[in-house]
Amino acid sequence: MSSSEAHAIDPHEEHAHNPHLAHHFDTIEKQDHAIRLGMWLFLGTEVLLFAGLFLGYTVYRHFYHHTWHEASRTLDLGLGALNTVVLITSSFTVAMAYYFIKKGKAGPCAAMLVVTIMFALVFLVVKSIEYRHKFQEGALPGQFYHFREVPGPGANLFYTVYFLATGLHAFHVIVGMSILIWVLVRVLKGHFSPSYYIPVELGGLYWHLVDLVWIFLFPLLYLI
């Protein structure tokens, strides 16, 4: 049968006993490895997706260094820092959710997921406050730009990159939140246990990616 396995377990028996094991995988370990590898590949694609926007940032910051320095000052550093703390903490809470479900503690896991989702909401609310400020000031991308305080070439491009980057990021926050809500529902329904918790792990990984992107966006947009 499977000559590469060190033990004499019968794959058919494992399929019969483990409802989560798909027919084309021999063991649950292989299947879990496959799922994790698939997830990391997907995270790789997300990294490359945001890379394009970071590239745009690099190019235009280089061209318009001084104007961008002034434009960055018009962003609300307090709110930006708050959002950073919020996301980092939410990464912590989702890591704790994963820790709890591995121990079979569905209750604390669900609590941690709820906290994470709350933090995500806070992030979005703060972001929308910031956006509203910018709309009122006229600090908008491209042709809509009419912000007198920062004149000069390249200023509109700062806000272009700002809105595109934070917009794409916010979209991912919403997607991540939705995933976590779905995972939370399944935790509450008792789907997970120490022997099966991989959806919680994957949801957490996606959320950490959202945090990672912001860890770079924050200094580049607010602190230059």
Partner 1 sequence: MENKAATKSATPSHGDEHAHGHGPGRYFVIWFILLGFTALTVWTGHMDLGAANLPIAITIATIKATLVVLFFMHLSEAHGSNRLVFVVSIIFVVVMMLGVFGDLLTRNPMSLPSGAPSFDVSPESHMAPHE
Partner 2 sequence: MSQSDDKQPIFPAVHYLNADRGVWSWLTTIDHKRIGIMYFVSVLLAFLLGGIFAMLLRIEHLTPEPTIMGANTYNRMFTLHGVVMIFMFMIPAIPGVFGNFLLPLMLGAKDVAFPKLNLLSLYLYWIGATLAASGMIMGGTDTGWTFYAPYSTSTPTTLFPVLLGVFIMGFSSIVTGLNFIVTIHTLRAPGMGWMRIPLFVWAIYATSIIQVLATPVIGLTVMLVGIEKVGHFGLFDPTRGGDPVLFQHMFWFYSHPAVYIMVLPAMGVISEVIGAFSRKNIFGYKMIAYSSLGIAFVGFFAWGHHMFVSGQSVLDNGAFAAISMLVGVFTAIKVFNWVATLYKGSIAVKTPMLYACGFLFFIVFGGMTGIAVATVSLDVHWHDTYFVVAHFHFIMVGAVIMAFLAAMHYWFPKMFGRNYHEGWGMVAASFIILGFNATFIPQFLVGNAGMPRRYFIYPERFTSLNVASTAGSSLLAFGFVIIVVYMIYALVRGPIAGDNPWASRGYEWDTASPPPKENFDHDVVIERDAHSYQQPGEEVEHVVI
Please tell me the distance from the alpha carbon of residue 74 to that of residue 134, in angstroms, as a whole number: 9
- State the nearest-atom distance from the C-beta of 53 to partner 2, in Å: 7
Q: Which stretch binds partner 2 (CB under 8 A): 59-67, 87-95, 126-134, 198-206?
A: 59-67
Looking up tokens 């569905």, which residue turns up? Answer: 106
Piece in contact with partner 2 (CB under 8 A), picked from 13-21, 53-61, 115-123, 203-211? 53-61
24 makes contact, choosing from partner 2, partner 1, none, with CB < 5 to 8 Å by partner type, with: partner 2
Q: Is 142 in the site for partner 2 (CB under 8 A)?
A: yes
Minimum distance of partner 2 from residue 37's CB (angstroms): 5
Two tokens, residue 2 = 């499977």
Q: Which does 23 bind (CB under 5 to 8 A by kind): partner 2, partner 1, none?
A: partner 2
Q: How far is the CB of 59 from partner 2 (least distance, A)?
A: 5
Question: In Å, how far are 64, 67, 78, 113, 178 from 59, measured between CA atoms?
Answer: 9, 14, 26, 38, 33
What would the two tokens of residue 223 be?
Answer: 């602190």
Tell me whether residue 91 or residue 160 sits nearer to partner 1 (CB atom). 91
Exactly one of 16, 63, 73, 129 binds partner 2 (CB under 8 A); which one? 63
Q: Which residues contact 194 (CB under 8 A, 6 or more apart)?
A: 101, 102, 103, 104
- What pairs with residue 193 in β-bridges? 196
Closest by CA to 160, choosing from 22, 61, 42, is: 61
Structure tokens at 60: 């235009």
Residues that bind partner 2 (CB under 8 A): 1-5, 23-25, 30-31, 33-34, 37-38, 41-42, 44-46, 48-49, 51-53, 55-56, 59-60, 63-64, 141-144, 153-154, 156-157, 160, 163-164
